[in-house]
Chain A
Amino acid sequence: MTDQYPGYDVLAKRRTPSWNEQTRQAINGRLAIPREPRFLSPDLFAVLDAACRRIIPQPTERPPVPLAAYIDAKLFNKQSDGYRLAQMPDQGDTYRRGLAGLDEAARSQHGLGFTAIAPEAQDEVLRQAHAGKLTGGAWQGMPSKTFFEHRLLNDTVTAYYGHPTAWSEIGFGGPASPRGYVRMALNRRDPWEAAEAKPGEEARARRENDHV
């Protein structure tokens, strides 16, 4: 997997006019997230952590993102999305049941807990949940498809793509206030935007990304 935006680090703009003070505080808070679970039990937290690693494989070349910690914090702080599908219990119970359900599926199919089975086997269990095939036991009638799509998948990717590591990876400009953008047209890059490495131009992109 090649680095599309070599050397681009959105955090390098922290002290530029692209970041105001309230943004610095918000991102600092995000980077300082406690890694230990405060809502989920350690066992369920481990299941969540393993599932998150399959949903978003962590990049090797950039700082990893503690996805499970973000979801646990969301549950701990009771951060609602503002709505709940009628067939779902509240957020905390949804996770308790769903994660236990994933673990049960791993035990029944592989004789080992979700965290202990091979990554490919974990993917298979997650695919079953995505397809709505996991029922009974810990699920208590909660549809596994809804759990996977609306909760686990949604919360995991929301946490990852709300993190500077992901912004750097995809070449997103990141915070922009007070400084926004000037060059609006197609194929025009402002000097403080990520430079994409076209084939054969990795060195040039890296040089430009050193100065965003």
Chain B
Amino acid sequence: MGTSKPTGDTATAIAVLSGATVLGGVALALRQPRAPANDTRASLLPWVERSKAPAVPPLDSKATVRAARRLNRAAGTIAASVLVDSAIEHYRGAFHNEAMVTPLISASLSLLASVHGTADDRRGAHVARDLVYAAAGLTGLVGTGFHIYNISRKPGGFSWQNLFYSAPLGAPAAISLSGMLGFLSERLRNNTTDSRPTILGRPAGRVIGLMTSLGLMGTVGEAGLLHFRGAYHNPAMYLPVTMPPIAAALLGASALGEAGRRKPLTRWWLRFTALLGFVGSGFHIIGVARNMGGWRNWKQNLLDGPPIPAPPSFTGLALAGLAALGLLEDHPDD
């Protein structure tokens, strides 16, 4: 087609980046948790610690685990969205490749791990959950590869037409996001009681906040592409390309800015973004109903109409953002 390409290079770059992220995540998941050095010092020389860092709030293990459980919940929400969405979309693709069943399995496991994690108020990473989340991350990576291959084989290559209708490039990343949030949750649980939570030695709130912010932007890209395909025929279709980017920006600013302060605007914006995910599904249900034949023609319209299970991905990410924000607000120092 020649003239109508949003550059294949960008798509490849996105795929490589997300792939690298997931691979890094897998490597981290396999690392043994290491107690931060200052923990030892703190127990040996409690007065020194106290005098050196008077701003440290009372150590709150419950808050850290609570944040971790919130992340599990976020990961589960996304996993549920991916499970149903990929089931529908891959059924549409007639499961012509046996690998198309993989995201269903992976998302199911991620969902189970997340339910388990949400209910689990113990500290310490859980090996099985870690493995499941790592697998989810890997599934997204491999899926993106498959989808890139699928598009590249089509006449026109990385053209708008193929981005609209061939295997969606951004979709497999959603399962990676679920894996990533779960993985961050497990890292969070690895923090020992007497420290402010860190991930990779960096303040957990900032890490989670930034990753969630990036995830939100990626999901916005996918929604933007598909709503562009729908020609934004309903003004409400602009919501998922306006609200979540602001949420991502606010969360990103919080993650990079001064911690330990209340951020009511960010918090409310994230809450509304979480709500938007469900509202989006509602809109999509209406969309299916207004297609020809409505619900009586569900065998077609569930596949051809707007994807009902897709929007809650925003809910999952917003929940993760709220967890991050809680950590940021509770831990003022870096």
Residues from chain A with Cβ under 8 Å of B96 in the complex: 187-188
- The reply to whether B92 and A179 contact each other, CB–CB distance below 8 Å, is no
- The reply to whether B297 and A182 contact each other, CB–CB distance below 8 Å, is no
Per-position 1/0 for A172-199, Cβ under 8 A of B: 0000011111110001110110000000
Measured CA separation A178–B301 after assembly (Å) = 10
Closest B residue to A188 by beta carbon equals: B94
Given known A188-B94, A188-B96, A191-B299, contact A182–B293 (CB-CB < 8 A):
no
Does residue A17 face the partner (Cβ distance < 8 Å to B)?
A: yes
Residues from chain B with Cβ under 8 Å of A187 in the complex: 96
- The reply to whether A182 and B303 contact each other, CB–CB distance below 8 Å, is yes
- How many A-B pairs have beta carbons closer than 8 Å: the answer is 31
Shortest Cβ distance from A84 into chain B, in angstroms? 38
Shortest Cβ distance from B8 into chain A, in angstroms? 20
CB neighbors of A among B158-216 (8 A): none
- The reply to whether A183 and B293 contact each other, CB–CB distance below 8 Å, is no
CB neighbors of B among A142-191 (8 A): 177-183, 187-189, 191
Measured CA separation A189–B91 after assembly (Å) = 11
Closest A residue to B165 by beta carbon equals: A184
- The reply to whether A189 and B94 contact each other, CB–CB distance below 8 Å, is yes
Given known A17-B299, A192-B299, contact A179–B293 (CB-CB < 8 A):
yes
Residues from chain B with Cβ under 8 Å of A182 in the complex: 92, 300, 303-304
Residues from chain B with Cβ under 8 Å of A183 in the complex: 92-94
Measured CA separation A188–B92 after assembly (Å) = 9
Interface size class of B (residues with CB under 8 A): 10 to 19
Residues from chain A with Cβ under 8 Å of B303 in the complex: 182
CB neighbors of A among B289-304 (8 A): 292-293, 296-297, 299-300, 303-304
Closest B residue to A189 by beta carbon equals: B94
Given known A183-B92, A189-B94, contact A178–B292 (CB-CB < 8 A):
yes
Shortest Cβ distance from B222 into chain A, in angstroms? 21
Residues from chain A with Cβ under 8 Å of B304 in the complex: 182
Measured CA separation A183–B92 after assembly (Å) = 7
- The reply to whether A179 and B300 contact each other, CB–CB distance below 8 Å, is yes
- The reply to whether A17 and B94 contact each other, CB–CB distance below 8 Å, is no
CB neighbors of A among B33-57 (8 A): none
Measured CA separation A71–B294 after assembly (Å) = 39
- The reply to whether B297 and A178 contact each other, CB–CB distance below 8 Å, is yes
Closest B residue to A181 by beta carbon equals: B300
- The reply to whether A17 and B92 contact each other, CB–CB distance below 8 Å, is no
Residues from chain B with Cβ under 8 Å of A180 in the complex: 292, 300
Shortest Cβ distance from B2 into chain A, in angstroms? 22
Measured CA separation A187–B93 after assembly (Å) = 11
Chosen A-B contacts, 25 in total, with CB atoms closer than 8 Å, are A17-B296, A17-B297, A17-B299, A17-B300, A177-B292, A178-B292, A178-B293, A178-B296, A178-B297, A179-B293, A179-B300, A180-B292, A180-B300, A181-B300, A182-B92, A182-B300, A182-B303, A183-B92, A183-B93, A183-B94, A187-B96, A188-B93, A188-B94, A188-B96, A192-B299
Residues of B within 8 A of A (CB): 92-94, 96, 292-293, 296-297, 299-300, 303-304
Task: Beyond A17-B293, A189-B94, list 10 extra A-B contacts (CB 8 Å).
Answer: A17-B296, A178-B292, A178-B297, A179-B293, A180-B292, A180-B300, A183-B94, A188-B93, A191-B299, A192-B299
Residues of A within 8 A of B (CB): 17, 177-183, 187-189, 191-192
Question: Can you list the 7 inter-chain pairs with the closest CB atoms, starting with the nearest?
Answer: A178-B293, A178-B292, A17-B297, A182-B303, A179-B297, A179-B300, A178-B297
